[in-house]
C-alpha cells in the first residue's frame, strides 16, 4: 500500500470509502505537466537559496524529468491512495531518488502548489483559446470578403426589419469574438501571477526567493498576500465567465445557422460533412452540429454557476471544497475548444444562397424607413414622416402591392413631397448603399470595417 506523505500523526489507515470520496487523481492528473514544471522551478530556487544542496536539487530535477517521461509515455501508474497529482508525483520521486526527494516539499504546501498548477494550466488554455478565437475571427472576416455584396434581410424581433449586407451581419459576430478574445487576454493579466511561496497560508520562515520562481515560470508578478494566494479561485471564475460570454455568442450564431438552413428560410446550405441524418426520415439533413453548439452553451454556464456557488461564503483560507473547481474548469476548456474548432471548420462548408437572401431582403416593406428618411430630407419632422410612411405601407398592404409597385401618383397622393426619385431609395441595393453612417451597412462602410478589423488581427 502506498504510504501517504501526511500519515505521520495517524495511527489508523484511511478507510477505502474515504479514499474514493476524497481522491482527485482521476481528474487532476491532467495537471501533471504543470505540477512537474512548477516543482522543477521550486527545486532550483531552493538550491539557489541554499535551502537544499545543489546536488540534491540536481537529483530532484533529474527524477522529476524521469517521472515526466513516464507519464508522457503512458507508463506511470496513478494511485487513488495517493489522493491527487501532487502526492502521486512526489511519492514517485521519493521512490526513485530516496531522501533528496523528500526535500522537494520544503517551503511549499499543496495549497499553494495546486494554486500554481491551476494558474499554469489556465495560462496555457487561455493562450490556446485566444489562438482559436483568432482563427474564427479570420474565418468570419474572410467569409465576409468572399461573399461581399450579398444583401440579406436584417431582423429585429425575428421580423424582417431593414436590408443589410451579409458581410455586415457576419462581421457583427467577428466583432463579438474579438471582444471575447480581448476579455480572455485581459484575464491573463490576473491569471499570470505566481501564488507559490504562500505555503499553507502564512508564508514560510525559510529564505525563499519567489521572484526567482516567477522568472523561471514566466509569471508577470508575484502575489502580495499569502492568505489570498491560497484562498481564491477568482481567476478560474473569470475564465469561466469569459467562456460563458463567448458561448453566448456562439449559441447565437449557431441558432442563426439552424434557422437559416431551414426550408422556411433557405438562406444557406450547410455542407454534408457538417450535418447528420435522421434514423427514420430518409430525406432529412439536420444541423446537429450547430444544435450541439447551442446546447453545450448550457453546460458552460452550469460550470460557471458551480464555481460561483462553490466559492460563495467560504471562510479564508484554503478549504477542501476548492478541489471541486477542477472538473467544471476542465469540462469548460474541452467544450470551448472543441466548439471553436468545429465552428471555424463548419463556416468553410456553408453555401450562401444569394437569390433567396436578396429576394427576401427586398420584400416585406423592409425599405419603409428609407421612405421616412426621404421625407425627413424634404423637411418633414421624423415623427410625421414615420406616420405618413406607415399610411403608405397600410395602403400598399390593402392594394396587395409592394413599395416598388406603387405608382408615382399613389405616392404623390399621400404626399406632394414625394417625387419619382423615391424609386431610387426603395430597392434593397439603394437602401443598403445609403446607410453610409459610420458603422452602418453601406458597402463603403463595411469594406472599411473589414479592412480595419483585419489590420487589428495582424497586430
Ligand atoms: N487536491 C487538492 C485540491 O485540488 C490539493 C490541495 C490539497 N490540500 C490539502 N490541504 N488537503 O484542492
> Per residue in 380-435, pLDDT tens?
999 999 999 999 999 999 999 999 999 999 999 999 999 989 998 898 999 999 99
Mutation pick for ligand 1 pocket among 110, 199, 314 (CB with most ligand atoms within 8 Å): 110
275 lines ligand 1 (CB under 6 A): no
Tally of CB atoms within 10 A around 179: 12
Q: Give yes or no: residues 205 and 280 share one domain.
A: yes
pLDDT at residue number 1: 57
pLDDT at residue number 3: 74
Domains in the chain: how many in total?
3
Q: Quick check: 341 and 132 in contact, CB under 8 A? A: yes
Domain that holds residue 36: 21-106
Q: Give yes or no: residues 389 and 329 share one domain.
A: no
> Is residue 210 a part of any domain in this protein?
yes
Q: Quick check: 79 and 4 in contact, CB under 8 A? A: no
Q: Give yes or no: residues 127 and 260 share one domain.
A: yes
Q: Give yes or no: residues 281 and 376 share one domain.
A: no
Mutation pick for ligand 1 pocket among 6, 314, 320, 326 (CB with most ligand atoms within 8 Å): 320
Nine-digit cell string for 303: 460550470
Tally of CB atoms within 10 A around 168: 24
Residues with Cβ < 8 Å from 318, sequence gap 6 or more?
111, 200, 201, 230, 231
Q: Give yes or no: residues 211 and 278 share one domain.
A: yes
Indicate the residue among 106, 131, 158 that finishes a domain.
Answer: 106
231 lines ligand 1 (CB under 6 A): no
278 labelled catalytic: yes
Indicate the residue among 359, 387, 414 that finishes a domain.
Answer: 359
Q: Give yes or no: residues 86 and 157 share one domain.
A: no
Catalytically annotated residue among 15, 17, 157, 279: 157
CA–CA separation, 421 and 402 (whole Å): 17
322 lines ligand 1 (CB under 6 A): yes
Q: How far apart are the first and last CA of the chain?
A: 56
323 lines ligand 1 (CB under 6 A): yes
Q: Give yes or no: residues 182 and 319 share one domain.
A: yes
Nearest-atom number in ligand 1 for the CA of 318 is: 10
Q: Give yes or no: residues 301 and 402 share one domain.
A: no
Tell me how long the chain is. Answer: 459
386 labelled catalytic: no
Cα of 257 to ligand 1 centre, how many Å?
44
DSSP 318: -
Q: Give yes or no: residues 406 and 280 share one domain.
A: no
> What CATH number does residue 382 fall under?
1.10.40.30
pLDDT at residue number 361: 86
Catalytically annotated residue among 278, 359, 420, 424: 278
Cα of 222 to ligand 1 centre, how many Å?
21
Cα of 320 to ligand 1 centre, how many Å?
6
CA–CA separation, 199 and 217 (whole Å): 17
Q: Chunked in runs of 10, what are the mean pLDDT values of the chain (459 residues)?
A: 76 88 97 98 98 97 98 97 96 96 97 98 98 98 97 94 96 98 98 98 98 98 98 98 98 98 95 80 84 98 98 97 98 98 96 94 85 93 94 94 92 92 91 95 98 95
> Is residue 163 a part of any domain in this protein?
yes
Q: Give yes or no: residues 196 and 214 share one domain.
A: yes
Q: Give yes or no: residues 99 and 240 share one domain.
A: no
Q: Give yes or no: residues 78 and 115 share one domain.
A: no
Cα of 454 to ligand 1 centre, how many Å?
45
DSSP 164: E
261 lines ligand 1 (CB under 6 A): no
Nine-digit cell string for 435: 446607410
> Is residue 8 a part of any domain in this protein?
no
Indicate the residue among 311, 340, 359 that finishes a domain.
Answer: 359
Q: What share of the chain is helix, strand, coil (3-state, %, to 5)?
A: 65, 5, 30
pLDDT at residue number 425: 87
Q: Quick check: 366 and 153 in contact, CB under 8 A? A: yes
Amino acid at each position: 500500500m502506498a504510504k501517504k506523505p501526511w500519515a505521520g500523526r495517524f495511527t489508523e489507515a484511511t478507510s477505502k470509502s474515504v479514499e474514493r470520496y476524497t481522491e482527485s487523481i482521476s481528474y487532476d492528473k491532467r495537471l501533471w505537466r504543470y505540477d512537474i514544471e512548477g516543482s522543477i522551478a521550486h527545486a532550483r530556487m531552493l538550491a539557489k537559496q541554499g535551502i537544499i544542496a545543489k546536488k540534491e536539487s540536481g537529483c530532484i530535477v533529474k527524477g522529476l524529468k524521469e517521472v515526466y517521461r513516464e507519464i508522457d509515455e503512458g507508463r506511470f501508474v496513478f494511485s487513488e491512495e495517493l489522493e491527487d497529482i501532487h502526492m502521486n508525483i512526489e511519492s514517485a520521486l521519493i521512490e526513485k531518488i530516496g531522501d533528496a526527494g523528500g526535500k522537494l516539499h520544503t517551503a511549499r504546501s499543496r495549497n499553494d502548489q495546486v494554486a500554481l498548477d491551476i494558474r499554469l494550466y489556465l495560462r496555457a488554455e487561455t493562450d490556446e483559446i485566444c489562438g482559436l478565437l483568432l482563427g474564427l475571427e479570420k474565418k468570419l472576416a474572410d467569409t465576409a470578403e468572399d461573399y461581399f455584396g450579398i444583401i440579406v434581410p436584417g431582423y429585429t424581433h425575428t421580423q424582417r426589419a431593414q436590408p443589410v449586407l451579409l458581410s455586415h451581419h457576419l462581421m457583427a459576430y467577428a466583432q463579438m469574438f474579438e471582444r471575447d478574445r480581448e476579455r480572455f487576454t485581459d484575464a491573463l493579466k490576473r491569471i499570470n501571477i505566481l501564488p507559490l511561496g504562500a505555503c499553507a497560508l502564512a508564508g514560510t520562515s525559510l529564505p525563499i526567493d519567489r521572484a526567482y520562481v516567477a522568472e523561471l515560470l514566466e509569471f508577470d508578478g508575484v502575489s502580495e498576500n499569502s492568505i489570498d494566494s491560497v484562498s481564491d479561485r477568482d481567476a478560474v471564475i473569470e475564465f469561466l465567465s469569459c467562456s460563458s460570454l463567448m458561448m453566448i455568442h456562439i449559441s447565437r450564431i449557431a441558432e442563426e445557422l439552424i434557422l437559416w438552413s431551414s426550408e422556411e428560410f433557405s438562406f444557406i446550405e450547410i455542407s454534408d460533412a457538417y450535418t447528420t441524418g435522421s434514423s427514420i426520415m430518409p430525406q432529412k439533413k439536420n444541423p446537429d452540429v450547430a444544435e450541439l453548439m447551442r446546447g453545450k452553451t448550457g453546460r458552460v454556464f452550469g460550470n460557471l454557476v458551480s464555481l460561483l456557488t462553490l466559492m460563495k461564503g467560504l471562510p479564508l483560507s484554503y478549504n477542501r471544497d476548492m478541489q471541486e473547481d477542477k472538473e467544471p474548469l476542465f469540462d469548460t476548456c474541452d467544450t470551448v475548444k472543441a466548439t471553436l474548432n468545429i465552428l471555424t471548420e463548419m463556416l468553410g462548408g456553408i453555401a450562401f444562397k444569394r437569390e433567396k437572401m436578396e429576394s427576401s431582403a427586398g420584400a416585406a416593406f423592409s425599405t419603409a424607413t428609407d421612405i421616412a428618411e426621404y421625407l425627413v430630407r424634404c423637411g418633414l419632422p421624423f415623427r410625421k414622416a414615420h406616420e405618413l410612411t406607415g399610411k403608405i405601407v397600410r395602403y400598399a398592404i390593402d392594394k396587395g402591392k409592394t413599395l416598388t409597385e406603387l405608382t408615382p401618383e399613389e405616392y404623390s397622393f399621400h404626399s406632394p413631397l414625394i417625387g419619382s426619385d423615391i424609386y431610387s431609395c426603395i430597392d434593397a441595393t439603394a437602401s443598403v448603399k445609403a446607410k453610409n453612417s459610420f458603422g452602418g451597412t453601406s458597402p463603403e462602410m463595411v469594406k472599411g470595417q473589414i479592412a480595419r478589423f483585419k489590420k487589428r488581427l495582424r497586430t
